[in-house]
Structure 1
Amino acid sequence: MTETVLRLTGQGTEIARRLWSDQRVWFATAAILALVWMLDPTQGRDSLSFVAANLLQTAPYLLLSIGLAAYAGATGADNLIARAFTGAPVVMILVAAAFGGLSPFCSCGVIPLIAALLAMGVPLSAVMAFWLASPVIDPSMFALTAGVLGFEFAIAKTLAAIGLGLFGGYVTLALTRSGAFADPLREGVGNGGCGASGIRDPKPPVWAFWHDAARRTKFGREATKTSLFLFKWLSLAFVLESLMLAFVPAEWVAQAVGGEGFASILIATLVGVPAYLNGYAALPLVSGLVDQGMAPGAGLAFLVAGGVTSLPAAIAVWALARRAVFALYVAFALTGSMAAGLLFQLWLA
């Protein structure tokens, strides 16, 4: 009797722990919004509007990514995708970095695809290359950067994105070959990177999955699970971003990253991590600073470091990956952004 009670108590505790783990992001988001609303109702409404507007803006990318990931799982095509990422890691990293720097997906839109790839056993090195390059630039950001800062700056930012992806990918490859990061995903996300069994025993995909009730169910289940996962983490990210935009004046950022020389590039890199506004708001700020004498290399370092570690991108990594992978991601953002700024400044000299 006692053993039964203890077993049931242990099971109940485990269930409660998992429920709290699943819901704590919702609680944190609701608590922050409620506190802001009580202290400043106007800002509370503005933050809520900001979250809704950004979720709506990213919805097309998210829906496409979620649909592709769910379709790959329902049809069994995920095994083919994972097998396509086997082979020479050097080539995989090169392709992943280039695609990440040139793809139209925002950092939020690639989350379900990255989670699926890691869960299927795709090497972390290739995923890291794509993950690092993706938030820095995309076609629309390239056009906007060229219009605000000039075509030369836009090219430099694109090359920095691809270079950062290559740097992170090859360093991660060396670390994984030494035995590190064997299980990169957090517990409960995908299958913790152990999905390589599907690659070892592949089955032909069923492209018209809707004719099979079990596959239709799997499609709906995966799409719903991924949608809820994205919605809770992005809601928290956008709430925090709205508060940063409201309470971190652009003048403070300008004062911190202004100046010339190596010191300005170092400061811009470090400030870009916590104080980055967003991709669109940062461009005119950097343009004004460069016009006032700020080193262009410092401006590039600020944009690259801030883009990789912006709240949506960083929280996406935190939500999916274990802490060691997140720390590695931030380290790549800092060192790679500083190197990009220095190289750009040397090239202009």
Structure 2
Amino acid sequence: MTDVTLGPRHPAVLARVIWTRHRVWLASALILAVLAAMDAAQAQASAIFATAALLNTAPFLLLSIGIAAWAGATGADNLIARAFTGAPALMIVMAALAGALSPFCSCGVIPLIAALLAMGVPLSAVMAFWLASPVMDPSMFVLTTGVLGLEFAIAKTLAAIGLGLMGGTVVHWVTRAGGFPAPLRDGIGNGGCGGARVRAPKKVVWRFWNDPARRVKFGREALNTTLFLAKWLLLAFLLESLMLAYIPAETVTSVLGGTGIAPIALGTLVGVPAYLNGYAALPLVGGLIAQGMAPGAGLAFLVAGGVTSVPAAIAVWALVRPGVFATYIALSLSGAFLSGLLFHLWTLA
């Protein structure tokens, strides 16, 4: 059989490239196309719903985009390096705060963790940052406020910090007892864009508009963030419209509502495979809460899904040894459940 190499313009190659680069937009288009063929009225209703939802969240979107672009243009994300100096207890606290509050890009998290561990930073501080980072950042806080309300955004922020503190403390005591002597897998180095920020942190330039290159970076970051948020929120609002249309509220209330711990535990477990994206998950949880989902279960879903979503878990598995990975998963799920339980008790008070 002759081996034929497909050129870059071959239809199969082009289709694969287009799907890889634009799969979220294509998924939204496919949903609308299928709806138009099967239920034209619902297709129109879903399109109107998604458009209205995007317009309603536009002020929060603009603020979120501005924060992300400002962080990239000024280099404020380089401040993350300062969280990993000092006594172990101080490092854990600072790392948890940095993870929850810093606008750190997702592409740099894994290389950053590898760099920190390879440089000898205690696993306790690294774990504190690692657990808190996917749950909250300034952009996420703004959008969470717009979609789920200020109380929920504050609760999610406190959950991120608390999860980091809990994880860092537990790992600190385990390492003091002799556990995790070599957390990284063999062959994992300290390269990557995240590692460079720790090894040689650059000065933060607050008045970035005086530098032409930084102004260009601001515009590029703003555009990238706009496209990223728009594609995921559009998909999420479309899914929310279908959920509201086709899933009876009584079903959601019976499974994820109520005052017991079962809905929170279920929300924690469901969050792992069902989580799409930190921003896309917000409208989905908002729709579920509107149909009767307990707020505590919603928070548990967001925290568990943010930390242990399938892509994140795969990256962690490739980076660290099985014992560290198992601890990471256990801390994530237990912390998400406790966060949901505490928020549930708070809403009842």
TM-score band w.r.t. shorter chain: 0.5 to 0.7
SS at match of 1:182: coil
**2:342 corresponds to which residue?**
343
Residues of 2 paired with 1:85 and 1:281: CA distance?
31
CA deviation string 1:85-126 (max 9, x = no partner) = 454211110000001000101443222222111001100000
Question: Aligned pair 1:164/2:136, yes or no?
Answer: no
* Pairs within 5 Å for 1:184-223: 184-190=183-189
Q: 1:86 to 1:324 in 2, by over 3 A?
A: same
Asked if 2 retains the 8 angstrom alpha-carbon contact of 1:93 and 1:126, the reply is yes
Relative to structure 1, the CA distance from residue 137 to residue 269 in structure 2 (aligned partners, 3 Å threshold; closer, same or farther) is same
1:30-49 map, 5 Å: 45-49=18-22
1-structure distance, mates of 2:120, 2:316: 17
Q: CA deviation at 1:51?
A: 8.3
Query: What does residue range 264-303 of structure 1 map to in structure 2 within 5 Å?
Result: 264-303=263-302
d(CA) in 2 for partners of 1:44, 1:255: 42
Taking a change above 3 Å as real, the CA distance of residues 255 and 345 of structure 1, as seen in their structure-2 partners, is: closer
Matched residue type, 1:329? Y
- Residue type at the aligned position of 1:145: T
Change (3 A) 1:87 1:306: same
Which of 228, 249, 260 aligns to 2:258? It is: 260
**Contact 1:97–1:165 (CA<8 Å) still a contact in 2?**
yes
- Structure 1 distance, partners of 2:254, 2:332, is 19
Q: What residue is the counterpart of 1:100 in the other structure?
A: 99
Counterpart Cα distance in 2 of 1:256 and 1:305: 21
Q: Distance in 1 between matches of 2:86 and 2:338?
A: 30
- Rate the CA distance shift 1:43–1:300 in 2: closer, same or farther, 3 A: farther
Take 1:85 and 1:298, find their aligned partners in 2: how far apart are those partners? 33
CA distance in 2, matches of 1:265, 1:257: 10
Which residues of 2 match residues 19-168 of structure 1 at below 5 A? 45-50=18-23, 85=84, 87-168=86-167
Measured in 1, the distance between the counterparts of 2:347 and 2:25 equals 41
Separation of aligned partners in 2, 1:99 and 1:348: 27
Cα distance per residue 1:156-182 (max 9 Å; x no partner): 000000000000000000100111111
Deviation at 1:273, TM superposition (A): 1.0
Structure 1 unaligned runs (5+)? 1-36, 73-80, 192-204, 208-241
Output the CA distance in 2 between the equivalents of 1:256 and 1:168.
32
Distance change >3 Å, CA 178–CA 277, structure 1 → 2: same
Partners of 1:268 and 1:143 lie apart in 2 by: 23
Q: Percent same amino acid among aligned pairs?
A: 65
Instruction: Give the Cα separation in 1 of the matches to 2:156 and 2:280.
Output: 16
Instruction: Name the CA distance, whole Å, in 1 between partners of 2:19 and 2:343.
Output: 38
CA contact (8 A) 1:256 1:268 kept: no
* Counterpart contact for 2:299–2:339, Cα < 8 Å: yes
Match of 1:314 in 2: 313
1:85/1:281 Cα in 2 relative to 1: closer, same or farther (>3 Å)?
closer
AA of the residue aligned to 1:347: W
Asked whether the equivalents of residues 145 and 154 of structure 1 are also in contact (C-alpha less than 8 Å), the reply is yes
Q: Where in structure 2 are there 5+ consecutive unaligned residues?
A: 1-11, 27-64, 191-199, 203-234
Q: Which residue of 2 aligns with 1:202?
A: none
Q: Give the Cα–Cα distance (whole angstroms) in 1 for the partners of residues 158 and 266 of structure 2.
A: 21
Per-residue CA distance 1:209-235 (angstroms, 9 max, x = gap): xxxxxxxxxxxxxxxxxxxxxxxxxxx
Q: CA RMSD in A?
A: 3.9
The Cα of 1:255 is off from its aligned counterpart by 8.8
- Residues in 2 aligned to 1:190 and 1:256: alpha-carbon distance in whole angstroms: 49
Offset at 1:316?
2.6
